Amino acid sequence: MAPHASVSSKPARATRIPTCRGDAVATDAMRDNDHVPALWEAGEWSAPASPVGMRAAKPVQMSGVFGEGVSVAVSLTFDDARASQLEGVRILDDHGLRATFYVLPSGVAAAPDRWWSVARLGHEIGNHSSTHPCSANFDFAAANALEDHTMQDIADDVDAATAMIQELIGVRPRTFAYPCGQSFTGRGRRRRSYVPVIAERFVAGRGCGSEVGNLPESCDLAHLEGYTVDGLDAGELRSLVAAGMTRGEWVIMAGHDIGADGPQTVSAPELDRFCSSLIRDDRVWVAPVIEVAERVAGVTQSAVVDALSGSPPRRRRSHLGSRDLRPAPGGQPDRRPFQHHEHPPSSRRPGAS
Ligand SMILES: [Zn+2]
């Protein structure tokens, strides 16, 4: 577990929560959050308990990065292009919310017309690799282990996914989610981070299994923190947003299946309740990862321009790598649907070419 700046006086009682890595816990503070919905209803987001019970609550700091009056940005993300997501996406659509789906080409190939429709509705389609390489400690990854991969293997795998997704549904992914939240190749002295491979290709990369949100002025867009939210109820999801609101964070949630209770599943009724809450507070900006990432990148570009012109910096610069920086947008967040290519889905399947 990651170190924290401060420790609560009350010891945390650990409870297992299913995650992509299977090792995350919920603490007393996360479970004991009955006050959070009440705060939400009252519009009072004053320093709720930390979602992990370890981070001290701080006064709300309005960064202004996300737009006037917005205290927290929230990105809902779902991995693997699982079939249940094609049903669950209706919950988001009913509430007018758009998410990011980090897809495997094999999942898209199972229902290209439907995934094309998901993109057409304004949801972001992101890259989640072609073959989902993870640590050899996962049984399913034994023959495709990151410990045995080279940096070129990763680059080829990711590029192949982009090409297949583009061929299937006419969308070129602009953000990436690390399979299993893992971002290394090799082992021992030859172990390396493959984050630079992602930074060269995408506006942003999302991790998972994190214990903190992203500070827009200092986060690394190429390796964003993401909470794993499988198995969490609406109150627990709200607690994560409430904690992010105290720090002006970008809160990224990573789930898998959407439906009935089960492993790696976000409960459909709980997601529905959570979405109902999200749309009732104007201080919460819900947007796909690409849109928040471009907002964050735009603000940091302003800082670079200020530095070159001798003006006092408006914002500290994020660690952006070599990505394409966009001009800083102004005013309220752009809530228009993200523009995708409008090509009809290809009838071809991965491996057909
Ligand atoms: Zn995955």
Question: Which CATH number belongs to the domain containing residue 255 in this structure?
Answer: 3.20.20.370
CB 212 within 8 A of CB 58: no
The answer to the question of residue 342 being in a domain is no
With tokens 């399979």, the residue in question is 179
The answer to whether residue 35 scores a pLDDT higher than 50 is no
Q: Is residue 183 part of a domain?
A: yes
Q: Tell me, in angstroms, the distance from the centre of ligand 1 to residue 220's CA.
A: 21
CA of 215 to the centre of ligand 1 (A): 24
Residue 1 falls inside a structural domain: no
Interval 295-329: pLDDT, tens: 999 876 666 565 566 554 444 433 333 333 333 33
> Quick one: average pLDDT of 130-144?
97
Residue 44's pLDDT is 36
Domain count along the chain:
1
53 near 8, Cβ under 8 Å?
Answer: yes
Report, as an integer, the average pLDDT of 116-133. Answer: 98
Indicate whether this model's pTM tops 0.85.
Answer: no
Asked if the structure places residue 178 within a domain, the reply is yes
Q: How far apart are CA 131 and CA 160, in angstroms?
A: 10
- Span from the CA of 180 to the centroid of ligand 1 (angstroms): 6
Q: Report which of residues 44 and 154 the model is more confident about.
A: 154
Q: Do the beta carbons of residue 300 and residue 317 sit within 8 Å? A: yes
CB-based contact 287:333 (threshold 8 Å)? yes
> Is 16 part of any domain?
no
CA 146–ligand 1 middle distance (angstroms): 14
Q: 107 C-alpha vs ligand 1 centroid, how far in Å?
A: 11
1: tokens are: 């577990």
> In this model, does residue 62 exceed pLDDT 80?
no
Q: DSSP string of 321-347?
A: TTPPP-PPP-SS---SPPP---PPPPS
Closest alpha carbon to 184 in 208, 144, 149, 212: 149
In-domain check, residue 32? no
CA of 99 to the centre of ligand 1 (A): 16
- Report the alpha-carbon distance of residue 129 to residue 235 in Å, rounded: 32
**Band of residue 66 on the pLDDT scale cut at 50, 70, 90:** very high
Instruction: Please state the φ and ψ torsions of residue 179, each to the nearest 5 degrees.
Output: -55, 130
Cβ 331 vs Cβ 68: under 8 Å: yes
Question: How far is ligand 1, taken at its centre, from the CA of residue 62, in Å?
Answer: 33
Burial of 272 (0-12, 13-18, 19+ CB in 10 A): middle
| Residue 348 lies inside a defined structural domain of this protein | no
Q: C-alpha dihedral over 127, 220, 179, 91, to 10 degrees?
A: -60
CA of 266 to the centre of ligand 1 (A): 14
Residue 329 resides in a domain: no
By residue range, what is the domain housing residue 179?
Answer: 58-309
Q: What is the tens place of the pLDDT at every residue in 7-16?
A: 333 333 333 3
What is the CA(286)–ligand 1 centre distance, in A? 22
Question: Ligand 1: distance of its center to the CA of 318 in Å?
Answer: 27
- Ligand 1 midpoint to CA 208 (Å): 10
- In the numeric block, which tokens belong to residue 77? 């993300």
Query: 84: CA distance to ligand 1 center in Å?
Result: 14
Q: Where are the beta strands (DSSP E) in the chain?
A: 15-16, 25-26, 72-79, 100-103, 124-127, 175-177, 184-185, 192-193, 204-206, 227-228, 250-255, 257-259, 265-267, 284-286
Tell me the per-residue pLDDT of 220-262, one tens digit each, with 9 for 90 and over. Answer: 999 999 999 999 999 999 999 999 999 999 999 999 999 997 8
Alpha-carbon gap, residue 72 to 236, rounded angstroms: 16
Interatomic CA distance for residues 40 and 325, integer angstroms: 35
| Token output for 320 | 């952006």
Provide the 10 A C-beta neighbour count for residue 175: 28
